[in-house]
Structure 1
Amino acid sequence: MPVGSISSSNDTVGVAVVNYQVPVLETKEEVIENCHRIADFVDGTKLGYPGLDLIIFPEYSTQGFHPTKWKDLCTTVPGPETEIFAEACRRNNIWGVFSITGEINPKGNPYNSFLLIDNQGNIKMNYHKMNPWVPKEPWYPGNETMVTEGPKGLMIGANICYDSNMPEIVRDTVMRGAELVVRIQGYMYPSKEQQIKLASIRAWENLSYFAVANMAGRDKVYSYFGHSNIVNFDGTTLAECGSSPDEVTYAELSISAIRNARKNWTAENHLFNLTHRGYSAVPNGEFEIPYSFYKTWVDNPQQAREICEKLTRSTPEQQAEQKPEAIS
């Protein structure tokens, strides 16, 4: 696929990812000021890339992740922050992906939320992070992958940071129809090498476009490595930022190209071959699930957890129960 353009067409979706400067915010007033800064990025990026259809900002780009005041900065969806983003999308006639950390949750701790807003200012998707990063993230886990139709009909799926380390989440998102998986992240050193490689791996194994927006710079706790990138469905990199804060990069994603590959590829069509094992030898291929762990997980989730814990570790609560009482 050609790279290096700032245009798009009826068949291509122009996508930009932002290495947003990690904000260090302590009040809601500062959060609103930062939202206006994000809106200015939308304006400037559309001016520089006239083919822009979708702009993507990282996890934590709205409220940051203050180590002690994060709960004070939580908000509602919709709310004053999302209205600023919606207006920026409307006036630029583009779609945007934005982060809310956290979204007030009546069931308990706040959600870590991925918002897709269309060019009319409507919230088209509000995805809650399914696998918050333990042991540091306090967010209430979501329980559903999400996919929706995006600009020019491209099907968009959501992931947030640690979600994409779980191949099951990306695969489930793609099997629900995603042609572009968007990963918003606030990933820090020393995980740079692994996370950059992961985008190409997930794209290739799922025959899917993959776009990553990451933070850059330092807050009160971590240093974030940037390297926001856009990856083709064959795993090759179309565009990539460096490590400097506030870099933006851009690529065109062809809708017809990915649909052609999924429909017509035989070798390397990982999605088709997953449920048509060995169809070169067996008529139509085998379709029964052969993976014993996944069968167990569906039929007996507690047993699956026990299998996992034998390989890895128990929870802190279990460790506390197993700890012998001190002898007085």
Structure 2
Amino acid sequence: MLRLAVWQCPSSPRDVAGNLARLADAAARAAAGGADVLVTPEMFVTGYDIGPVAGMAPDGEVFDAVASMTLESGVAIAYGYPELLPDGRVANAVQLVDDGRVVGAYRKTHMFGELDASRFAPGSDFPVFELRGHRVGLLICYDVEFPETVRALALAGASVVLAPTANMVPYELVSTVLVRARAYENGITVAYANYCGTEGAQVYAGLSTICGPDGRVRALAAAEGEALLIADAAGDPAPYLRDRRHDVY
């Protein structure tokens, strides 16, 4: 059974060194709670609503620091960061690292208005990865609001989706309704890690959550304040994937 840790925290814009120090502390706390993997908010390394941001190499200094944290804590980490692409553009990305190595990576597919479209190159793939004996997919924030994304991962065999996010007021229903629906309709666990507090023009909604494949909320943070949620990816999957008429659509 995979034990998930979701970290809700304030953004610390452009403070890469400080954010890595905070992440190391969160990983140690997640390890103390028996977690297998820790999920940060979207673009955690730099902050999200901070204007143009320079891209980072996926195998650069930030990766080296996170890789060391996974070795020291024994906890895998899915962290959000701006990925420098070969063509010079920047992607809003998440990288999953375990035991000092990259397990998987994903680039945000659905751009949330000009906030994303003006800065980031969209991704287009929904890969599934092996993490400690479990099939895991990655999404970022707005992606979860589209039924097709979680369904694509579920059909590819994922049993867990890890989703860094930067969901703001007044979209609280994403945490309380849509994330739960995505988990239930696909028989899959969704771990959704949001910011709290303010950043740039944003007031973040908090309400980070872990929802099980039976539609039950395993953990839910408050709208305000830092929180480290820990819950198992457990529950009997709903029967929709089994019973769907894939031959008619």
* TM-score, structure 2 as length reference: 0.93
Residue deviations 1:23-43 (CA, integer Å, cap 9, x gap):
122xxxx31222122112111
Alignment length, in residue pairs?
Answer: 247
Give me the whole-angstrom Cα distance separating, in 2, the residues matched to 1:91 and 1:107.
34
The match for 2:114 is 135
The match for 2:53 is 71
Give me the whole-angstrom Cα distance separating, in 1, the residues matched to 2:182 and 2:196.
22
- The residue identity in structure 2 corresponding to 1:182 is L
Alpha-carbon shift at residue 53 of structure 1 (Å): 0.9
Alpha-carbon shift at residue 240 of structure 1 (Å): 1.0
Which structure: larger Rg?
Answer: 1
Residue deviations 1:63-99 (CA, integer Å, cap 9, x gap):
102533x324x21101111111111111111211111
> 1:271 aligned to 2:207?
no
Give me the whole-angstrom Cα distance separating, in 1, the residues matched to 2:47 and 2:187.
32
Contact preservation (8 Å) 1:130, 1:142: yes
Residue deviations 1:102-138 (CA, integer Å, cap 9, x gap):
11112353011111111x1111111111112122212
From 5, 8, 14, give the equivalent of 1:16. 5
Residue deviations 1:167-198 (CA, integer Å, cap 9, x gap):
11111111111101111100110101233211
Where do 1:88-107 residues align within 5 Å? Answer: 88-100=69-81, 102-107=82-87
Structure 2 unaligned blocks of 5 or more: none
Instruction: Judging by fraction of residues, say which structure has more strand.
Output: 2
- The residue identity in structure 2 corresponding to 1:161 is C
Contact preservation (8 Å) 1:36, 1:84: no
- Secondary structure at 1:71's aligned position in 2? coil
The match for 1:41 is 26
Instruction: Judging by fraction of residues, say which structure has more helix.
Output: 1
Moved over 3 A (4+): none
- Secondary structure at 2:170's aligned position in 1? coil
Alpha-carbon shift at residue 207 of structure 1 (Å): 0.7
The match for 1:195 is 175
The match for 1:264 is none
Structure 1 unaligned blocks of 5 or more: 1-11, 262-267, 277-286, 290-328
CA-atom RMSD in angstroms: 1.6
Contact preservation (8 Å) 2:189, 2:210: yes
- The residue identity in structure 1 corresponding to 2:164 is I
Give me the whole-angstrom Cα distance separating, in 2, the residues matched to 1:66 and 1:240.
24
Fraction of identical pairs, as percent: 25
The match for 2:145 is 165
